[in-house]
Structure 1
Amino acid sequence: MAATPGSPHGHEHADSPAPPRATGRVPLAPHPDRLLPPEPSQRGIARRLYESVRDLPLISPHGHVDARLLATDEAFTDPASLLVTPDHYVTRLLHSHGVPMADLGLRDSTGDTAPAQPREVWRTFCEHWHLFLGTASRGWLEAELHDVLGVTVQPSADTADELFDELTARLREPEFRPRALHDSFAIAALATTDDPADDLSHHRALAEDPSWSGRVVPTFRPDRYLDATGSGWTAALDDLAAASGIGTGDYDGLVQALEDRREHFRAHGATATDHSAPDARMAFLDIAEARRLFDAVRSGTATTEDARLLSQQLLGEMARMSSEDGMVMALHTGSRRNHHPDTMRRFGPDTGHDIPLQAEFTRALQPVLERFGTNPRFQTVLFTLDETVFSRELAPLAGFYPSVYLGAPWWFLDAPRAMHRFRDAVTETAGFYRSAGFIDDTRGFCSIPARHDTARRVDAAHLAGLVAEHVLSEDDAARVIHDLHDRQPRKAFRL
């Protein structure tokens, strides 16, 4: 597909050196000891720990798989649509090497460029397979291809068409339909992420289907109704009013509508809310000031600071509601969402250009924790993209407040080395049992078991080192790794 000259989504410049062309039939066989320690005695301990949890059912309390996938149980059409186009870990890295988004199957809302067909998307992915070397994505992709889909040769320019045809045929087989894969993954609980205006019809269909025995619960994600700085905020309030039947033309109506939709979600099994505010600050203003801010923003007379303060006030209302209804408040903060305006305009959000920000939690969370930090109904799980706060702020907070759990390394940090750094940074202060365990946070259905397997291997390796240093006994380590992948995510998200 021809690139637009000068486009930020175009190919590399013509004078850039061409990347090496991946060719040949190289076996795909992930090593059974991958991510385990190289030192033989520690590797033996890690193997035993890993084997003890390898086949545990998967608890997935936070992710972005659509419930429709399991409700309709429609067969996946092709490997590109399954593994490439929807996975922003994949698309962002290829884009960084000059591959246009449209060549990866993403739809350009401006109509300037038509998305490539799946076979072409797959060829592009296979030709650039070497670019994933050293990344966490490479490990997940190898596990998806080999362990889930039965692929035995590596993607390359020479194998692209062969693999496309092989996988397209395989995905039509009954055992590779979504529900059959769900069962083969041994998923005990799966949480989706849903808009408050969603009628949750797919969740209801699953709950009412006598042939379905899995547990899929929604998660309340109200970002677009809380972000008063966004251009689409007023339209979002109209959507919320239509869904709840409650007018959102004033502050009290908005709060009541959000409370109503939370009850709707709870009735469908939800146990948590999720928030992606730029930072963790919350405000707790008197009602007259909150109403004034709402009216000013709604009428278009507010300052930028007014809109920001109203957003923090609405996040504070979410905390207050959680202290009353018991829904866990997951905070995914510290990301500059949609960093590249043109990509956002053309290809939308969640296309790989969310970039980490420096985070601060100690001062930001004091107002909410002084109100609800020891309230047994309130519980929060804190995620960050800033490693510098692991030991300085997050571990001490979780080491005091019974309401605070440490979220797993997230987005750019859900990689093996970062997972080790996280455990090193927080455990000596907060222990293992203030952790929420592992959260896969994925949109890629087939990556769920691959990501959990990575986390189990990393935890086995980390604990093996502590056993070798005589910090833990092997029996202690076996109990800890089991709890990190079963008890802790259930407890932290009240599943």
Structure 2
Amino acid sequence: MSVASAFLHDDFLLTTEWSRLLYHTYAKPQPIYDYHCHLPPDQIAANRKFENLTQIWLAGDHYKWRAMRAAGVNEDFITGNTTSDYDKFLAYCRIVPQLLRNPLHHWSHLELRRYFGIDLLINETNAPLIWELANAELAKPALSTHGILTANKVAVVCTTDDPADSLEHHVAIAKSGLETRVYPTFRADKLMAVAAPAVFNAWADQLAARADVKVDSLDSLLQALDQRHAFFHSIGGRLSDHGLENLPDADCTRAEAEVIFNAVRSGAAATTADTAKWVWFIMIYLGQLDAKRGWTKQLHLGALRNNNSRLLKRLGADAGVDSIGDFSQARALSRYLDALDRDNQLPKVVLYNLNPADNYVFATMAGNFQDGTTPGKIQFGSGWWFLDQKEGMEMQLNALSQLGLLSKFVGMLTDSRSFLSYPRHEYFRRILCALIGADVEAGLIPADEASVGKLVSDICYDNAAAYFALEAGSFNS
């Protein structure tokens, strides 16, 4: 057996008989329900084929960028425009042996193995052969975007889309014959940017053109948002998403919101206090829209973004310079969910925390607003971003198990811009089965294969399919 084979064998992470049974019989065969990601829909619509491994493996992957910087790689070999794709690839291969105990070491090897059948350790010596073998595979239809989604049995993909987007690529995908069903997710980040009038007003003008509504008052803005929300719904969208440091602990009347809107449209930046009021008002309104159309709202809370102003200026957002924040979450999150719930306008909600210190806060907060209408109506979401590694996933699973119902959990997502990220579902499933299998072996869970097997298959796919209720591609499990 080669070193690489011994490293990532069939029972990787599965250390008990029960974990192996659960994974190979109940988890591995399940299709993938990727209800939150950042895959570019234009590349799916075009059925893009990638020219080389760097384009599909390294471009846009800020996890790998962070690791390369930490290893001392010059930025020209990470995001530079004058460095060849091969030189960037080689620079990454050189540092992979330094990634031991970082999840990238597992992920990178899993990606090469699952997509390209390459059973080699990633290092500078093996880099030329890896490049040659992978690029030969990339030339085949099986590794076009459609081929990847089909081969990985991805039944559903929910991308992340601005309300002002045309969604033309989603329309094209729906007509393409692709078995995977691809849906838009309504994410209005720029709607919150009242402290930056140039950003907000340019976006508001785009929204106005898309909705064919003159956005010159608060009422017309809300009308345009409602129209776009309805259009997302008409082509299958059923999810919204928000990425916030935290929800504001503020109240805002309609009259106050109108004053803020008028000032920003005239070019005046909102103060910190007025920004908090605006975000509160808008979040209530968007929650009401989600409830009206039976959608699910996702709240991604706790990221401290764009810390490195030098790289932000050079590369823009999503450059790999974000981190976990230490924001207060509980009180404002409670107020927000309660404000919608008391008027029977609370939609299904998935809560994601980035700070692991908030695991128990979010797990218990979800329990406050379950109402008997939908199993697991308020979800404590899977380990997100910096927490989608082994320890982070285990902490989330343990907190949910102790404080809620693991049996109703909607499982893993990729939250990725890369088409090579689907082994993360495998990674999650192995970790899940290792945890549950160990409990069975320890006598903490009954050794009843039917019930424990159902728990695993539900978390891996069936719960998400029932909860989000989107038409899914048919992939035999």
Same-fold status (TM-score > 0.5): yes
Counterpart among 397, 400, 405 of residue 426 in structure 1: 400
1:139-169 Cα shifts (integer Å, max 9, x gaps) = 1111110121111222222222222122112
Counterpart among 176, 188, 197 of residue 164 in structure 2: 197
Alpha-carbon distance, 1:121 to partner: 0.8
Are 1:409 and 1:422, in contact at CA under 8 Å, matched by a contact in 2?
A: yes
Are 1:59 and 1:489, in contact at CA under 8 Å, matched by a contact in 2?
A: yes
Are 1:273 and 1:329, in contact at CA under 8 Å, matched by a contact in 2?
A: yes
Are 1:85 and 1:91, in contact at CA under 8 Å, matched by a contact in 2?
A: no
Counterpart among 335, 338, 350 of residue 381 in structure 1: 350
Secondary structure at the aligned position of 1:338 is classed as coil
Q: Which amino acid counterpart does residue 66 of structure 1 have in structure 2?
A: P
Secondary structure at the aligned position of 1:86 is classed as coil
Alpha-carbon distance, 1:282 to partner: 6.6
The equivalent residue for 2:463 is: 488
The equivalent residue for 2:76 is: 102
1:330-375 Cα shifts (integer Å, max 9, x gaps) = 0111111111112111111112111111244431123332233373
Counterpart among 346, 350, 354 of residue 314 in structure 2: 346
The equivalent residue for 2:115 is: 148
The equivalent residue for 1:327 is: 295
Paired with 1:404 and 1:281, the residues of 2 have a C-alpha distance of: 20
Are 2:288 and 2:345, in contact at CA under 8 Å, matched by a contact in 1?
A: no
Q: Which amino acid counterpart does residue 445 of structure 2 have in structure 1?
A: L
1:444/1:119 Cα in 2 relative to 1: closer, same or farther (>3 Å)? Answer: same
* Structure 2: unaligned runs, 5 residues or longer: 371-376, 471-477
Counterpart among 175, 191, 196 of residue 225 in structure 1: 191
Alpha-carbon distance, 1:468 to partner: 2.3
Paired with 1:376 and 1:339, the residues of 2 have a C-alpha distance of: 36
1:40-73 Cα shifts (integer Å, max 9, x gaps) = xxx1010001012102111100001112222211
Counterpart among 30, 48, 53 of residue 56 in structure 1: 30
Q: CA RMSD in A?
A: 2.0
Paired with 1:49 and 1:376, the residues of 2 have a C-alpha distance of: 39
Are 2:249 and 2:331, in contact at CA under 8 Å, matched by a contact in 1?
A: no
**1:289-438 equivalences in 2 (<5 Å):** 289-299=256-266, 300=268, 302-373=270-341, 375=344, 378-391=347-360, 393-402=361-370, 403-438=377-412
Counterpart among 447, 452, 458 of residue 477 in structure 1: 452
The equivalent residue for 1:208 is: 175
1:436/1:360 Cα in 2 relative to 1: closer, same or farther (>3 Å)? Answer: farther
Paired with 1:212 and 1:361, the residues of 2 have a C-alpha distance of: 40
TM-score normalised by structure 2 residue count: 0.91
Q: Which moved more, 1:77-86 or 1:475-484?
A: 475-484
Secondary structure at the aligned position of 2:444 is classed as coil
Alpha-carbon distance, 1:400 to partner: 3.0
Are 1:87 and 1:444, in contact at CA under 8 Å, matched by a contact in 2?
A: yes
TM-score normalised by structure 1 residue count: 0.87
Are 1:35 and 1:416, in contact at CA under 8 Å, matched by a contact in 2?
A: no
Alpha-carbon distance, 1:446 to partner: 1.4
Are 1:50 and 1:456, in contact at CA under 8 Å, matched by a contact in 2?
A: yes
1:387/1:317 Cα in 2 relative to 1: closer, same or farther (>3 Å)? Answer: same
Secondary structure at the aligned position of 1:388 is classed as helix
1:213/1:427 Cα in 2 relative to 1: closer, same or farther (>3 Å)? Answer: same
* Structure 1: unaligned runs, 5 residues or longer: 1-24, 38-42, 108-113
Are 1:229 and 1:304, in contact at CA under 8 Å, matched by a contact in 2?
A: yes
